[in-house]
Amino acid sequence: MTHLTLNKTDLNVHPLCLGGNVFGWSADEAQSFAVLNAYTEHNGNFIDTADVYSEWKDGNTGHDSESILGKWMKQRGNRSEIVIATKVAKLSTRPGLSAANINAAVEDSLRALQSDYIDIYYSHEDDKSVSLRETLAAYDALIKSGKVRYIAASNYTGERLAEALEISKAEGYAQYIALQNHYNLLERKEYEGDAAPVVIAEGISGIPFFGLARGFLSGKYRQGEVVESVRAAGVADYQNDRGYKAVALLEQIAKEHGTSIAAVALGWLAAQPGVATPIASARTVEQLKEIVNFAPLTADQIAELTELTK
């Protein structure tokens, strides 16, 4: 697939941003390395992680995904070829978006990644206990120091994103260049009605997470069947008539294109206004192969999927 340049940056990235949330969680180091190697063999170069990944697993303390990525890049000697996005705010030992926390957290992430810079540094969630000016000023200083290239927001409402962008413009601070919110074929109303208009109007990049609805849109969850997966509990809200009809239509289109159900779901997402590159993760090389190249959907197919899930 042809690489694209994220708006307001010089970052040239693969159309699929590979989610790193599984590294150190459902994928151990060896499995993670195999997926990462396969991704780069498909010219993939854009990886999304966070300091909190995967603190939730027993025995983990955070930075688990970042550490795996750091070891892999060190082994491959390819740091300059990879665009790394990581995040601050949700790790229990480094919570929030105060200047002091951001400055401490970025050093932790740089050590874990074995890198002296981060390509995109996200506010992982909005922290209303800290002024937007304080947060943005801290990021601006990190960019000027060379430790961070660009900043972005995740889990922000349209109103708060717009406010942050206006403050950056007024104060001359670096601006958020992307928004990473929950958005997929089955999760549309909140994003499309709130944040998407700001993303489009401001010309920044939409980089949605859970592009496959926690794996439901991969097609492996079928009516009446039990799936053994650490993520299975997260798809309960999709196991209904609307969800299964969406999967059936995705499967029909996938057969027409000779591709995977997941590739069609991601193809729909990538075609939405303001979306630059969706995020999807893979625990195995086989799963990676299903998602790394989107299906080239027709306008009619996109419209049909849009109508079915509106």
The tokens of 172 are what?
């001359």
Cα 12–chain centre separation: 16
| Cα(91)–Cα(56) distance, integer angstroms | 10
- Sequence-separated (6 or more) residues with CB below 8 Å from residue 122: 50, 85, 86, 87, 88, 151, 152, 153, 154, 178, 180
Active site residue 53: yes
| Residue in 39, 53, 122, 191 annotated catalytic | 53
Taking each helix axis from N to C terminus, what angle separates 261-270 and 299-308, rounded to the nearest 10 degrees?
90
DSSP single-letter state for residue 257: H
Beta strands 4-5 and 12-13, pairing class: antiparallel
Q: Which of 218, 298, 210 is nearest to 265 (CA)?
A: 218
Kindly write down the DSSP assignment for every residue of 31-96, as one continuous string: HHHHHHHHHHHTT--EEE--TTTTTTSTT--S-HHHHHHHHHHHHHT-GGG-EEEEEEB-STTSBS
Using an 8 Å Cβ cutoff, are 1 and 14 in contact?
Answer: yes
The values of phi and psi at residue 47, to 5°, are: -125, 135
| Cα(123)–Cα(154) distance, integer angstroms | 6
Catalytic residues: 53
